[in-house]
């Protein structure tokens, strides 16, 4: 990597590397492989939009795929669905964290929570271990993409299911876009990215040279 500024002529810097702390446990976490089989899903939707895996350049949080849970244009009423993936959480030190990005679309005009999406953690038999926030058509804070994070460190050495279930009660319904899930194990102790960008062993103004 070549760097320069108005004082120093030209210098060669060592390669800049960044270490991301955390091991992703989910397969197809951003749904970029579409309906690859990593996620299992059910629905009683009868419309052509029953498959939740969508591709669209403008709608995902990132990439081109996302999942679309629910149906908001009132063609199907009283519908439900689920989405889940089974994971073996390893034992050991560090923390286990679940996060996801969520966006809501709704046509409901009532203040009642008629349509809901609940994120849960199930055990291998399908019993609920944890229930996170239940989202509903009342959640105006989810009209834009919102990230939510939960600690699962107490579930180490267990086989769990990351599970979402949704239900719609009436016309003018609600749908949710879900994307970029992450179930990560942070073993701890990984150093942050170094600020010594020129590799001279010290952090100094020389590290602020303009990269060319």
Q: What is the band of 190 on the pLDDT scale with cuts at 50, 70, 90?
A: very low
Least-confidence region, from 17-21, 22-26, 189-193, 203-207: 17-21
Helix (H, G, I), strand (E, B) or coil at 155: helix
Alpha carbon distances (Å) from 26 to 31, 88, 92, 123, 212: 10, 10, 18, 16, 38
Q: Which has the closest alpha carbon to 163: 72, 106, 100, 79?
A: 100
Instruction: Locate 206 and state its tokens.
Output: 């020389």
pLDDT at 193 over 90: no
- CA 136, CA 175: separation in Å to the nearest integer? 9
Closest CA relative to residue 175, chosen from 31, 62, 45: 45
Q: 20-29, 67-76, 93-102, 127-136: lowest mean pLDDT where? A: 67-76
* Strand residue runs (E) in the chain: 2-4, 11-12, 23-24, 40-43, 53-55, 65-70, 80-88, 95-106, 116-123, 128-136, 146-151, 159-167, 174-186, 210-211
């Amino acid at each position: 990597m070549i760097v320069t500024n108005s004082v120093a002529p030209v210098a060669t810097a060592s390669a800049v590397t960044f270490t991301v702390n955390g091991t992703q446990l989910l397969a197809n976490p951003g749904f970029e492989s579409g309906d690859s089989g990593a996620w299992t899903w059910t629905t009683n939707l009868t419309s052509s939009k029953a498959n939740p895996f969508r591709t669209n350049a403008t709608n995902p949080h990132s990439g081109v795929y996302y999942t679309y849970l629910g149906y908001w244009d009132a063609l199907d009423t009283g519908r439900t669905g689920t989405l889940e993936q089974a994971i073996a959480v390893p034992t050991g030190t560090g923390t286990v964290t679940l996060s996801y990005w969520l966006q809501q679309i709704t046509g409901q005009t009532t203040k009642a929570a008629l349509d809901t999406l609940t994120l849960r953690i199930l055990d291998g038999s399908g019993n609920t271990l944890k229930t996170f926030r239940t989202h509903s058509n009342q959640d105006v804070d989810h009209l834009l993409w919102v990230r939510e994070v939960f600690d699962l460190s107490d579930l180490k050495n267990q086989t769990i299911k990351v599970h979402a279930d949704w239900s719609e009660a009436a016309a003018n319904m609600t749908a949710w876009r879900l994307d970029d899930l992450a179930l990560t194990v942070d073993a701890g102790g990984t150093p942050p990215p170094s600020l010594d960008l020129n590799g001279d062993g010290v952090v100094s103004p020389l590290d602020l040279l303009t990269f060319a």
